[in-house]
Amino acid sequence: MTVKPRTFRFGVPWEDAYGYSQALQAGDTLYVSGQLSHDAAGEFVGAGDFELQMKTTLANLDLVLAHFGATRGQIVETTVLVRNLRENFDTTARLHAEYVGEHRPTSTVLGVADLALPDQLVEIGALVRLDVRA
């Protein structure tokens, strides 16, 4: 059986410039691209404020999940890319733990030298299984 993938886009300029979707559903698996801190108009949020960027990034992840009728409890893996990881690790860990609550997906945290936007400090991708009971 062939499955036609469903995609989701925010309509932000970098989706066309880079040629990607925010998420792609193939069967019961949802692949979520790295989310970042931006508002509905595609304006970057939180320059110089790691905690605000992390919270806004997670809120954008929630918007992607909601589009597919998914919940945080269906996330099976997160990948968190962080600039200045040593400086921002405790905040990353605290906010990630608050976000997932009692649910414990797998997660990889990587310190990176740079991200796509000049003021961007964090990016979070996810793998979601829609057939997992949340």
37-85 pLDDT, tens per residue?
Answer: 999 999 999 999 999 999 999 999 999 999 999 999 999 999 999 999 9
* Residue 15 domain boundaries: 6-129
Reported as a pLDDT band with limits 50, 70 and 90, residue 98 is very high
Q: How far is the CA of 38 from the CAs of 55, 124, 132, in angstroms?
A: 11, 13, 29
Domain count, the chain: 1
Selection from 61, 49, 67, 54 nearest residue 8 by Cα: 67
Please report, for the domain that includes residue 11, its CATH number: 3.30.1330.40
Output the pTM of the full model.
0.95
**Could you report the per-residue pLDDT of 12-34, keeping only the tens digit for each?**
988 999 999 999 999 999 999 99
Contacts of 9 (CB under 8 A, 6+ apart): 15, 21, 22
- On whether residue 134 sits in a domain, the answer given is no
Token pair, residue 16, equals 């066309």
- On whether residue 1 sits in a domain, the answer given is no
Reported as a pLDDT band with limits 50, 70 and 90, residue 133 is confident
- On whether residue 75 sits in a domain, the answer given is yes
